Chain A
Amino acid sequence: MLAHVQSCEFPRFRPVLRRAAPVRLAMTRPPEALALDALLRRVAQTRDRAAFAALFDHFAPRIKSYLMRLGAPAAQAEDLAQEAMLSLWRKAHLFDPAKASAATWLFTIARNLRIDAIRREKRPELDPQDFQPEAGPDADDAITLASDEVRLREALKDLPPDQAMVIQQSFFADKPHSQIADELGIPLGTVKSRLRLAMVRLKSALGNTP
């Protein structure tokens, strides 16, 4: 039984790890995160359609891929990827490069669209009016944020594979952690401790005290 679970479940997620590097290498000159942020600012400031098209080419196929991994049929994933990009055009003035990268911002847009359109639920959201904005070292500085992104990228690459896998599945499997544990044939407590260890590593890579 265990062997069966492993043969079905592990390989489904391995390709993500295996394919990631070749994809980056295959691209001639991957637009760097900062360049993407700058394109997004141009969309906000001058309603630049060429900048929008460049962002579309980069992000829409990844959003479609994200939604398909979470079970959306290709046609629906494509429609929602276009919706997400429309939403980027309409809300571009709300993008704050000091708070998040373009990729993070689009991830939250795609995540919320999926909850709304596929799960037909609302996402309970925080309101910054409820609390004083955090004055953390990285709260208001786009350059610190960019170096954080680089450190996060490295730290994610360096995660032990068992921790990286539960993090990946948390984002791409749309299953509760109890089910992920069952399918991996490990106790729920092990999944939770892998998540905890991964978060401790990532926080310390970014200099956040736990």
Chain B
Amino acid sequence: MDILNHIMAALPLIFSLEVIIAMILGTAVGITVGALPGLSATMGIAVLIPLTFTMEPLVALGMVAGIYNGAMYGGSIPAILLRIPGTPAGIATVFDGYPMAQKGQAPLALKVSLASSAIGSAVSAVALLLLAPPLAAIALKFGPADYFWLALFGMTTIAVLLSNNPAKGLLSTCLGLVVGMVGIDAMTGAERFTFGSMDLLSGINIIVLLTGLFAIPPAIDLAVKRLSEQKEAPIDKKEDRIRWKPFIPVWIKSSIMGVVIGIIPALGGNVAAVLAWNEQRRSDPDNDQYGKGEPKGVAAPECANNADTAATLIPALTLGIPGSAVAAVILGALLVHGLRPGPQLFRDDPEIVFGFMLTMFVTAILMFVIGRFGARAFVHVLKAPTTLLAPMIICLAVVGIYSIHNSMFEVWLMLFFGLLGYGMERLDIPTAPAVLAVILGPMAEESLRRALLISGGSFDYLVKSWISWIIIAMIAMTLIVPLWKRLRRLQPSRGDQE
């Protein structure tokens, strides 16, 4: 009841003109920032913080909420249209979104992505509003051993992506694992693969790798065959009406996954999206269609990565533990306005906290409205002359990467990965396993070593908690069930299964 009172008290505050304008502006900026390769929500908000010094807290926070939600959706736009995920969380959207666009279903894919994102964000915001304190307790239950299993669970996704050519897929995975090892080893302080370069000491930023591998090769492709034969994808106008009913179970499942992963610190929207796509594919009896343009394969990751947004703020606001880089920056924004995150925040400034949480909900709806208008315009990207599009993508990637750390080194590194990615594509080596390995490899390694440090080297510690067992069961299910199914069918059907 207390919570409802606080919500009622905060409601009038967020419907002031300034806050509404801030939310609309924030959402639009967020979608743009998310859609541009190299730029992410973290950066958008970080850049914004100094500008909000003089604003009222809720005006600033409304804008932050808009950017955060908008960017998560925005990342799917180039993922679908150009197979360039705008943010790391958009990588799983490429799997089915781009094939859909190639089949001429770009508007449909964008629509599915938008609706799924908005629903994910809204569910997440409701979870934040109503369940924040009880859910926060889950965040603390996760120990190093559980993180290790979770990272392994994520790695099973890589196994799925290997389907067509395991040798090439593993090559790409190894590349990712090596890239993930670069930098100062967090456990001993030793420098690994830094070649005496100061710029490599803090490792290779995931956005640098992602942008290099995913934004540059398509740009080179566009430039090379500028008289695009297959690029002029037909845009199918007929399929404007879709039946949403089959999506409802996808949304329910993916939202829950997104919220849970959001609550667990150190896991972000990228992990949520990948796991949701994998789970959706696993559970669908018709799973051959995934990776070839299945709309549900767009709905699952987009719903999950948006369901991650407000959920990440649950431990951040209630415990002061930011679960991701974005959440950390948002805590910075709160701090600037004299709001110290943690248990006392809800006690001391309830109307602002609840107001902020409400803006997370309202911007989910705003995102849907703005996205609907925008979608018509976005699709025209496909019609843009490729001679223009290619240099534009490269420019944006360069500017975006430079702005992360004001580092020219990272720009060169990104371009290097771009050439590498182009080479990999020509050789038919998939690039997605490399990116997933960079996200999950260091997490698996560090949490395993941390767990063994705590236990003093005893491996029992890895199977001590019930959370570990649940995740182990999920891993077993993902790996064994398809095998078992295939054995039962005992008929070698179409070539490309797992």
On whether the two chains bind one another, the answer is no
Residues of A within 8 A of B (CB): none
